[in-house]
Structure 1
Amino acid sequence: MDCIAAISTGAAATAIGIVRVSGEGCSALCERVFRAGNGTSFGGLEARKMFFGEMLDAEGRVIDRGLAVRFPGPHSYTGEDSAEFHCHGSPVVLRELLAALFAAGARQARAGEFTQRAFLNGRLDLTQAEAVIDLIDAETAAAARNAAAQLDGGLRRVLEPVQDALLEITSRFYAVVDYPDEDIEDIRPGQVAAALRHSEESLSRLLATCQRGKVLKNGVRTAIVGRPNVGKSSLLNALVGYDRAIVTDIAGTTRDTVEESALVRGTLLRLVDTAGIHATADTVEQLGVDRSRRAVQTADLVIAVLDGVEGVTDADQEILELAQASPRWIVAMSKSDLLPDGFAHVLPASQLGGKPDAWVMFSSVAPGGLRPLENAIERLFPAGSGASETGSLLTDQRQEEAVRRARDAIRRAEAALADGLTPDAVLTDAEEALDALGELTGRTAKDEIVSRIFSRFCVGK
């Protein structure tokens, strides 16, 4: 493949900037832009060791002094001869070095092209390539751990036994059909049934991780709802740690949804502070109320904020009814700092209409006042343990759809076998499952799927 180059660090000035190069003729090209301090040619530098030297521009003039490292293929990130230059992080210096590489014969790398070459050269499968972008985008330690484990082959290790079992079934079938005169033992129905059952169970366990994987990767979409002036915006500000929403004593200050992210006990919350839900004749305010209702309908978690001083009013009933339709909901009584010590609201089930996942009292201003709410969120969405450390969580819709198609095809094969249908019926479904898994790992993925995945990457990765 031709030689590509790109700046791998951001556009802003930093202490250190990195320029990457990969492809055919990499060493000869780098020789023209780097002069090693020990006088050794670039191709003669010991592999995978940093060497000090001078970076040269397209005219051969020194533009910086820094470090270079050579990665000979096939044991490099891309699987081909590669190199990195570590300079001072001036954008001007990095652009000059990149221009020198272009003048020497390299071309600008496309977004994600280094990782795409790693995939095409067999260094990564598609699940590992997706883990690279997940690792770059990770916003929590748990998400980073899961992505790192997936990059290490966590998903592949779950899928390989299933693929091997299906390949054994299909290859044995074709061997018996294509070579009838050979002494090849046919697979017994009991063996096929056992292999299909184990494969189906493995994929079903994997599919059961989807929701947790999406939460780990994307966070918990959390709607904060309540009637006007009960403390919703104060709660948002307390959770994010600064004054994101305007807070006043005037009811109805928030007329639109306000969105922000917050990390609570290691779990990422995508917070949506909503306009107070109540009857209003104000057209603009009504638009905000409508948006609040829509935010509740799409939320993973609803925090229904009630005024702890006033208690539950008739106007709170609609809010409680909206909240209980969410997958998870918490009733949170605000302003606990204004209540007597030991005071606790007790609401009959008839007022709630349904049992919340948690019932807490909190204060947005008192020291430690958010702790009861944080404890409740942690119980409902524990941050990254168990399967996330193995990388065997499905975190992407593409992955989920492929695994589901494979699982469903295996179930059809099991049903065909149980109904006594001819072996070719079982074979058709087994091959469909293999195709779906191949699409997941990249063995049989279409070009447009591969291109769409790598288009998510930044230039230089």
Structure 2
Amino acid sequence: MDIIAAISTGQAATAIGIVRVSGDGCFALCDRLFRPLSGKPLSQHPARQMVYGDVLDANGALLDRGLAVRFPGPRCYTGEDCAEFHCHGSPVVLRELLTALFALGARQALPGEFTKRAFLNGQMDLTQAEAVIDLIDAETAAAAKNAVAQLDGALRRPLEQVQDALLDVTSRFYAVVDYPDEDIEDVEPAQIAAALEQSDRTLSGLLATASRGRLLKAGVRTAIVGRPNAGKSSLLNALAGYQRAIVTDIPGTTRDTVEESVLCGGVLLRLIDTAGIRETEDAVERLGVERSRAALESADLALAVVDGSADATAEDAAVQALAARCPRWIAVYSKQDLGSRDLPAADPRWANPPAAAVRLSSVTGEGIDALEDAVAALFPAGDPHQAGSLLTDARQEDAVRRARDALRRAKAALEGGMTPDAVLTDAEEALSALGELTGRTAREDIVSRIFSRFCVGK
């Protein structure tokens, strides 16, 4: 008997707390710690039906009054018998109940062990298991929709189509070779070529989503740059909704990078407020300027802030020229509550023009919505019908890329006139890479690493 148990609702006090139990024999164990007011044991109540009663501690004393529910395997999350106690969310009550479960033979569940059992029992593949942690960690509606669609199999299904096509080709070839006397239709090169071509298109389409998937999951690294006192920290505070950075009228207040995560236009931005970029003899400020330049070099998006109430300076032009080296940037003209000047023309020396030019006031909020619209246009949510098709993990991207590359080697060998058996070596390599992705052929260390990212109780 290997019954696991854990608190599934965290350690903070909440209105309701949940303790989850899973493993063969867990119903008998739960009967000893839960006394339904109906007088009938929990194990005799209908499956998936909440039952009201007394929750007992290890000594049989009343601990709480709440609900319990049982989920017989395999039609449940883990694929084996499991149950849940829904108690009042006192951490003390939950820990006492967990202690009572341990005293009766259960053990503490490891991080992600409930989901790992679901994978091992065939309830989900690795792409769906990774979607569980993505759904828990989602910080935007778009990220949550992509994760829940993957949990529903949106990523698994196209991968299975590729696997099935390759397995059909390889299995038929081996049948012809191993049973030459049987009347088995030979594998034609044209059939192999068609299967490889369709599989290549599917995998290439998935790879094309990786960049957007990374930004969806991790957020857009965004550097707020400008000369001293341009309004960078005020913009950070306006987007964050509170006084995250110190703001004064003294130029050079920000000496180091300040980071904050915000939702802007439905997009998760990892904002980095930087020190004002200018030439300075101050050693500390100079270090801050160097960090500002480094943050800009690694950013996905730059917000180049210029004091829109004053005449442009050479420092403003230098900042915008630096921002133009970023993959995407928006020109932000701040302090509109203090007045406004005409926007300067695009500088021909810029490596790329700004995606948008926005006037705003961080004090009044004027123009913030225009900035949100500009950000949303740069990072569109995509077609809602394609939710779940984004690769959001480096492991997924690597496996798909290796599979696609192996398929292309197989195509090149076939086009070069090599015999089918030579082509199949690369086709089987592609199958192996896809097996790592879905879990069919994943090594134990890869599986363990994936589930170690989970919290205890999931």
- Structure 1 segments unaligned to the other structure (5+ residues): none
Deviation, 1:350, is 3.4
1:17: which partner in 2?
17
2:100: which partner in 1?
100
CA contact (8 A) 1:265 1:383 kept: no
1:359: which partner in 2?
357
Residue 405, structure 1, aligned to residue 402, structure 2: yes
State the TM-score, normalized to the length of structure 1.
Answer: 0.97
Residues of 1 paired with 2:112 and 2:347: CA distance? 54
Write the letter of the residue equivalent to 2:436. E
Note the 1:33-182 alignment, pairs <5 A: 33-182=33-182
CA contact (8 A) 1:6 1:459 kept: yes
The correspondence for 2:426, drawn from 413, 418, 429, is 429
SS of residue matched to 1:29: helix
CA contact (8 A) 1:67 1:87 kept: yes
Residues of 1 paired with 2:256 and 2:13: CA distance? 37
The C-alpha deviation readout for 1:362-420, integer Å capped at 9, x for no partner, is 2112243312222211111123543553x111011110110011111111110000001
Residues of 2 paired with 1:322 and 1:436: CA distance? 41
1:326: which partner in 2?
326
Write the letter of the residue equivalent to 1:380. L
Deviation, 1:357, is 1.7
CA contact (8 A) 1:33 1:55 kept: yes
Write the letter of the residue equivalent to 2:332. A
Deviation, 1:169, is 1.1
CA contact (8 A) 2:162 2:199 kept: yes
Write the letter of the residue equivalent to 1:443. R
SS of residue matched to 1:117: helix
Change (3 A) 1:278 1:367: closer
Residues of 2 paired with 1:91 and 1:385: CA distance? 42
Deviation, 1:320, is 2.1
The C-alpha deviation readout for 1:185-209, integer Å capped at 9, x for no partner, is 1111111111110100011111111
The correspondence for 1:415, drawn from 404, 412, 416, is 412
CA contact (8 A) 2:42 2:51 kept: no
Deviation, 1:348, is 4.2
Write the letter of the residue equivalent to 1:135. L
Residues of 1 paired with 2:351 and 2:178: CA distance? 66
Note the 1:381-396 alignment, pairs <5 A: 381-383=379-381, 385-386=383-384, 388-389=386-387, 391-396=388-393
Deviation, 1:454, is 0.4
- Structure 2 segments unaligned to the other structure (5+ residues): none
Residue 446, structure 1, aligned to residue 443, structure 2: yes
CA contact (8 A) 1:142 1:385 kept: no
CA contact (8 A) 1:216 1:384 kept: no
Q: Mean Cα displacement is larger for which, 310-319 or 356-365?
A: 310-319
Write the letter of the residue equivalent to 1:397. A
Residue 312, structure 1, aligned to residue 312, structure 2: yes
1:346: which partner in 2?
344
Change (3 A) 1:368 1:321: closer
Identity %: 69
Write the letter of the residue equivalent to 1:422. T
2:195: which partner in 1?
195
Q: What's the Cα RMSD here? A: 1.3
Residues of 1 paired with 2:99 and 2:308: CA distance? 64
Write the letter of the residue equivalent to 1:455. S
CA contact (8 A) 2:346 2:353 kept: no
Residues of 1 paired with 2:374 and 2:227: CA distance? 22
1:374: which partner in 2?
372
2:217: which partner in 1?
217
Residues of 1 paired with 2:33 and 2:351: CA distance? 72
SS of residue matched to 1:154: coil
CA contact (8 A) 1:142 1:388 kept: no
CA contact (8 A) 2:410 2:424 kept: yes
Residues of 1 paired with 2:133 and 2:184: CA distance? 46
Deviation, 1:309, is 2.3
Write the letter of the residue equivalent to 1:439. E
Q: Mean Cα displacement is larger for which, 364-373 or 176-185?
A: 364-373
Deviation, 1:289, is 0.9
Residues of 1 paired with 2:78 and 2:422: CA distance? 41
Residues of 1 paired with 2:86 and 2:382: CA distance? 34
State the TM-score, normalized to the length of structure 2.
Answer: 0.97
SS of residue matched to 1:262: strand
Q: Mean Cα displacement is larger for which, 104-113 or 318-327?
A: 318-327
Residues of 1 paired with 2:88 and 2:233: CA distance? 43
Residues of 1 paired with 2:50 and 2:389: CA distance? 35
Change (3 A) 1:384 1:85: farther
Write the letter of the residue equivalent to 1:395. T
1:205: which partner in 2?
205
1:30: which partner in 2?
30
Residues of 2 paired with 1:42 and 1:378: CA distance? 51
